[in-house]
Amino acid sequence: MVESLPEQNGPPSERVRVRRLASRARYQRSEVLEILDAGLIAHVGVMTPEGPLVLPMAYGRDEDHIYLHGALANHLLGSGAGQEVCVTVTHLDALVMARTPFHNSMNYRSAVVRGPARRIADGDRKLRALRLITDHIVPNWDTSRPPSASDLRATLVVELPLAEASAKVREGGPKDEPDDMSGPWWAGLVPLTTRFQPPVASPDLRGDTAAPTSITALAGLTPDERPRHQR
Amino acid sequence: MVESLPEQNGPPSERVRVRRLASRARYQRSEVLEILDAGLIAHVGVMTPEGPLVLPMAYGRDEDHIYLHGALANHLLGSGAGQEVCVTVTHLDALVMARTPFHNSMNYRSAVVRGPARRIADGDRKLRALRLITDHIVPNWDTSRPPSASDLRATLVVELPLAEASAKVREGGPKDEPDDMSGPWWAGLVPLTTRFQPPVASPDLRGDTAAPTSITALAGLTPDERPRHQR
C-alpha cells in the first residue's frame, strides 16, 4: 500500500525538516510509516494558554491520517477547529557509550508529524477511526464486543493529516575523537529490547473464555514484530 | 534526599493538575521523581512559530531542576530567555485488553514538568549539569574521558525548575461494564518489559579495555532496576 504513494527525497514541508544532524533525517514515507507502525504510544504536543503540553496517547493511522481519541483528545484537542499539534513516536534501541560523555548518544528511531487536528463528526468515519486505533495496538476489534451507540457518543476522535511528517534515525556505534581511540576508556553499545510478556487473564473472567490468537501471539515479541492489522 | 522536601497532596500549580481521570493523579513529589529516575528519554515540547514541536531528549535532574543539553537544546531552547517547555517522561507497563474496545487502556506511569527552560552560562554549573545528565543514563562519567574545554563550549545546557510537576499512573486490570462480564470476550493484561541486553564492545576498541561495572551491571535489568547515580 505504502508503495502506491509518492516517495520523497526531501522534507514534505520546511517545518518537518530535520535541523540538527541532517544525515540522520529520513524523509521516505515508508520509513516514517514503519516507525509509526512499530509504536504503541505517541507523545502529543499542543499549545495551551499556559505553554506547551505533551501527553502520551494511543493512536492509529491509515494512508492519509493519524487518529487520536478519547477523553484526552477531548481535553487537548476538543475545539474541533483544527488546532496545530505535533505527534512524536520514538523507539529507543540502544545506549551508545563513547570514550567521553560528550560523544555518548542513543540509537533511536523517531517520527514527527505536524499539522492541524480536526474533530471527526461523521459516525461512520468515527467508527472506522476507532477500529484503526484499536487494531493499531492489537488487532482484536473483531474479537471483542462492538461499541454501543453511547460508547461512540462518549468518544471524541480527531484526525491529523500525515502530509507533514519526517523521521530521524541514529544507528551504529560510538563516534569518538581520533585522539581518544588509544585511551583506556571502554566504548560500545548497550541494546535495549521491549517485549510483550504472556497475557494475564482478568480474575473475573468467565472460566471458558480463551484469549484470541491476536493476543496470545504477542508473547515474546517486540512491538516491531507484533502481528499487524490489514488496513 | 527526596524525603527532605515537602510532599504535596494537590498539584503544585493549576497547569499541572491532572484533568482527566483525576483518580490517576499523583502529586507526591517522590512519585514524580521516581518516574523521572526510571526514564531514559523525555519528550520535550516547545512552541515554535510553526506550532508545537515535540522531540525526544536525554535529561538529568537534581533536587530542584531538570537539565537538558546538546545541539538539540541549542535549536529548541537556545534563546536563553526562559522559553516555556513541557518535559514528559512515560513508561508503558501493560496493554489493558477489555471486553470492548471502548474500555481498552494501557497501564503506564507518566510525569509532566512545565516551566521556563533557562540557559546555564556558568562553567561550573554547566559541568555539574552535564555530569547529572550523563550519570542519569548510566553512571559512567568517572570512568570516561572528562570533557575538554572545547567540548564544553560546544554544548548548550538548559535548566527547568522541578517546581511544577505532576504524575499520572494507571495500574490494575480492565474495568468493564457489568452487562459485559458474562459475555464471551476475553479480558486481561499484556505486560511489557524493557531490558538492557549485554553490552557490545565497539569493534575499534583497544583489546585490553574492560567495560566499567556500571555498564556490565545493566544486562538483564529493566531501566527501573538500573544502578543509580548518587546525587
C-alpha–C-alpha distance, residues A146 and B53, integer Å:
36
pLDDT of residue A70: 73
pLDDT tens digits, chain A, 231 residues: what are they?
333 344 557 999 999 998 878 889 899 999 999 999 999 999 999 998 899 999 999 999 999 999 999 765 566 666 556 889 999 999 999 999 999 999 999 999 999 999 999 999 899 999 999 999 999 999 999 999 999 998 888 889 999 999 999 999 999 999 999 999 999 999 999 999 999 999 999 999 988 899 999 999 999 999 999 988 766
Q: Tell which of B43, B108, B112, B192 to mutate to test the A interface (max A CBs under 10 Å).
A: B43
Which residues in chain A have Cβ-Cβ distances shorter than 8 Å to B153? none
Report the alpha-carbon distance of residue A32 to residue A40 in Å, rounded: 15
Count interface pairs A-B at CB distance under 8 A: 294
Chain A neighbors of B100, CB-CB under 8 A: 144-147, 151
pLDDT in tens, B194-226: 999 999 999 999 888 999 999 999 999 999 999
Q: Which three cell numbers stand for residue A139?
A: 488487532
Strand partners, B170: B108
Sign of the dihedral through C-alpha A8, A12, A16, A17? positive
**Amino acid, single-letter form, for residue B205:** L
Pairwise CB contact (< 8 Å): A196 & B183: no
The count of other CB atoms within 10 Å of the CB of residue B127 is 16
Contact: A201, B182; criterion CB under 8 Å: no
**Which residues on chain B are in Cβ contact (under 8 Å) with A87?**
54
Cβ pair B159, B59 in contact under 8 A: no
| Interface test mutation site (partner A, options B190, B195, B215, B216, max chain A beta carbons within 10 A) | B190
Contact residues, chain B, for A43 at CB < 8 Å: 43, 45, 54, 88, 90
Residue B74: the pLDDT is 61
- As a three-state string, the secondary structure of chain A is CHHHCCCCCCCCCHHHCCCCCHHHEECCHHHHHHHHHHCCCEEEEEEECCEEEEEEECCEECCCEEEEEHHHHHHHHCCCCCEEEEEEEEEEEEEEECCCHHHCEEEEEEEEEEEEEEECCCHHHHHHHHHHHHHHHCCCHHHCCCCCHHHHHCCCEEEEECCCEEEEEECCCCCCCHHHCCCCCCCEEEEEEEEECCCEECCCCCCCCCCCHHHHCCCCCCHHHCCCCCC
What residue type is A189 in one-letter code?
A: L
The pLDDT averaged over each successive group of 10 residues in chain B (231 residues) is: 51 89 89 97 93 95 94 60 91 98 96 95 94 96 92 90 96 96 96 98 93 96 88 62
The pLDDT value recorded for residue B214 is 95
d(CA B180, CA A208): 15
This complex has an ipTM of 0.94
Q: Which pLDDT score is estimated for A71?
A: 61
B92 to A40: CB separation less than 8 angstroms, yes or no: yes
Are the Cβ atoms of B137 and A47 closer than 8 angstroms? no
Residues B17, B25 contacting (CB under 8 angstroms): yes
Contact B183/A145 with Cβ under 8 angstroms? yes
pLDDT at A193: 98
Q: What is the pLDDT of residue A171?
A: 96
